[in-house]
Amino acid sequence: MTVTFKGTPVTLAGHFIQAGEKAPDFLLIKNDLSEFSLSEHNGNFLVLNIFPSLDTGVCATTVRRFNKMAAELPDTQVLCISKDLPFAQHRFCVAEGIDNVITLSDFRRESQFGEEYGVLIADGPIKGLLTRAIVVIHPDGRVVYSELVSEITQEPDYEAILACLR
């Protein structure tokens, strides 16, 4: 699949996960360097906010917006996933007062999250980072919503995300 970065096409590795598919398990790193896996989640809906880096304005905006949304979404846990180091994610959360979402890092060399979810950027100037995408996982492990944002520098469709959680 391809998306664009500032109008230039970039290729993604893997198959972008679609609604109706079973969400593959993953292993990501929390800010305290402990591991988080899908198989260990608490049975709530999961919103995966996937993006390139907190060091960009749009990515930071989405995390702030999801932090506000998460406070109003019962039985829902929001996971903000990037390749940023856990230390940088923690610093951002402290500075911004982010406390309703969990930031997770996919920085590990042996990580397969990006390819298994079809969000790993395979070429272009930000090769190796994750593209902007949203995946909503039902408590039973099924994907109920997926959005691959066609232009990485744009925000996702927040209203569609909220609609699938209501």
Catalytic residues: 59
Amino acid at 58: V
Q: Which of 49, 15, 48 lies closest to 118, judged by CA?
A: 15
Q: How far apart are CA 87 and CA 90, in angstroms?
A: 5
Location of structure tokens 């039973």: 140
Please, what is the end-to-end C-alpha distance for the chain in angstroms?
Answer: 30
